[in-house]
Amino acid sequence: MTANTQSHSGSGPDIITFGETMALLMPSGGKGLEYSSELHSLFGGAESNVAIGISRLGGKVGWFGRLGKDPLGRMIFKKIRGEGVDVSRAELTTEAPTGLMMREVLMGKTSVYYYRKNSAASHMSTKHLDEAYIAGAKILHITGITPALSESCKEAAFEAVRIARKHGVKVSFDPNLRLKLWSMEEARPVLLELAKLSDIFLPGLDELKLLYQTEDWNVIVSKLRELSAISIVKGGENETYVVTPDSVTAVPYFKAEHVVDTVGAGDGFCAGFLVGVLKEYEYAEAVRIGNLVGSLIVQTEGDWEGAPTWEQVDAVLNDVKHIER
């Protein structure tokens, strides 16, 4: 992929992720989009949300993708870079515009409207992958959003996984099912195949019910045990589950004091969990960190803005009291 900015200094990122990041417009003051005269300009994308979360927690992380060479693309590029994420393999292109999404929260319900067809990100293909860059990482993190964008994006996702496996890089996969992008029938075989190729599978419980076409938890567990991956199941009633070939461990949630915006909770979880894995924590302890990061992110507006630092996470884990003044 063509580099537009910093060359790599020293060794490369420990975690690499890639995918679509879009500009995000949200009305101020909790109004509906059609009634608001002011919109906040933000951005979001599952993979860049995870990358920023990892960087805030002190991890060395790289994100790449394609953005339009337009004001929105440049804004996103500079802000991701400003969060300490390596963007040396990201690309600003004149071929297509940056995707856009608009979001409103009315009566507690979030609605998202996408303007992403033929975006720069949707034109990503295998030629935009840098094998040496992926090979130098410890973990490649992908989501099921990328293969849903286009045939060339799907090929790129599978090729990135092939490169990672070839070089002994662990593959982390969050299915991130988006039924506005493709039907369940289109998604199922692709997501299940990527789950088979991953080392760490990070589905939500609702996603598993749709993927495996069952509500039966015991059937879901037995299906997960057929995979070679460790499965981390988000979205239990009060806990996240670690499913291995011989055990199921429930890790309780952290209570969020004041929920403001639930979007980004899953990406925050992934960031915290993957940093825990990097630090070589036991899976249950890494999940505990992920649960905590997710609970902190939902207490702030935006997809990633509330991502905590490692010091903040450590303070909660060790019950350090905050001194106000």
Residues known to be catalytic: 267
* CB-based contact 73:21 (threshold 8 Å): no
Q: How far apart are the C-alpha atoms of 76 and 303, rounded to whole Å?
A: 13
What letters, b where the CB count within 10 A reaches 16 and e where it falls short, cover 12-32?
bbbbbbbbbbbbbbbbeeebe
Termini Cα distance of the chain: 48
**φ, ψ (nearest 5 deg) of residue 315:** -65, -40
Q: What is the largest CA-CA distance in the chain?
A: 57
Nearest to 307 by CA among 58, 63, 111, 101: 58
